Amino acid sequence: MTVAERLARIRAELAEELAACGRTGGVRLLAVTKKQPVERIAEAIAAGITEIGENYVQEAAAKVALLPPVRTHFIGHLQTNKAKAVAAAFDVVQSVDRPEVAAALAKAADALGKRLDVLLQLNISPTERYGAAPEEAERLAEIVRGHAALRLDGVMAIGPVTGDRAEISRAFALAAKTLARVGGSTLSIGMSGDWREAVRAGSTMLRIGTALFGPRTG
């Protein structure tokens, strides 16, 4: 199957899932392009993808230079020493999970004369290493809002790695509840293996890699 065919299938399945849970839309598809060849990414963009997610700065910069214009989201773990490079290369940073990262990103964005859209990364799963604890999210949100160079627009979370679908749904419900306390319009939950649970929990952005592009290479 081509990338365009996979995208059409995902869009059709998403429309069915939305209808099944009484939603009328409001879900963006972020194509997760890490470890995917640039030709495949170009195919996705030609088929209508407008936003891509990458986990590594250098890999992203090399590929974006070869692609038509797209909105870029950093979705990897962020270290403060990479904040400058990330602020320069990306439009959105989804993985702000501690005050030091917010401060480093704000400083870098300020120096670039740029206002950076950010999401708080929440930890909603025992199988996940990174992310702020949901009970710390409001405090972190306040800190992020204190930086004029950052614009907080919601939360991102990675679901638990488990075959227990109810556990996945519970974790996503916690992310949705936390978004309501943090504020913002983006609930970035759901990947290739758990996007249906995410849509039912209110996801407004699915981060889809392998279901769109096939297995990652390299």
Ligand X SMILES: *Cc1c(COP(=O)(O)O)cnc(C)c1O
Question: Considering the complex, what minimum distance in angstroms separates the CB of residue 140 from ligand X?
Answer: 18
Distance between CA atoms of residues 10 and 191, nearest Å: 12
Could you give the CA distance from residue 126 to residue 140 in angstroms, rounded to a whole number? 20
Q: Which is nearer to ligand X, 77 or 115 (CB)?
A: 77
**51 sits near ligand X (criterion: CB under 6 A):** no
The kind and range of the H/E element at 29 are strand 28-32
- Is residue 198 a contact residue for ligand X (CB under 6 A)? no
Q: Which of 73, 82, 196, 207 is close enough to bind ligand X by CB under 6 A?
A: 207
- Total number of residues binding ligand X (CB under 6 A)? 13
Compute the distance between CA of residue 175 and CA of residue 116 in angstroms, rounded to an integer.
22
Question: Residue 209 interacts with ligand X (CB under 6 A)?
Answer: yes
Q: Applying CB under 6 A, which of residues 50, 55, 162, 169 lies at the interface with ligand X?
A: 55
What is the spatial distance between Cα 134 and Cα 137, in angstroms, rounded to a whole number? 5
Query: Quick one: which of 158, 168, 175, 182 contacts ligand X (CB under 6 A)?
Result: 158
Q: Which of 2, 9, 1, 4 is nearest to 192 (CA)?
A: 9
Backbone angles phi, psi at 132, to 5 degrees: -80, 145
Smallest separation, CB 146 to ligand X (Å): 26
Kindly tell me which residue out of 6, 34, 82, 147 binds ligand X, with binding defined by CB under 6 A. Answer: 34
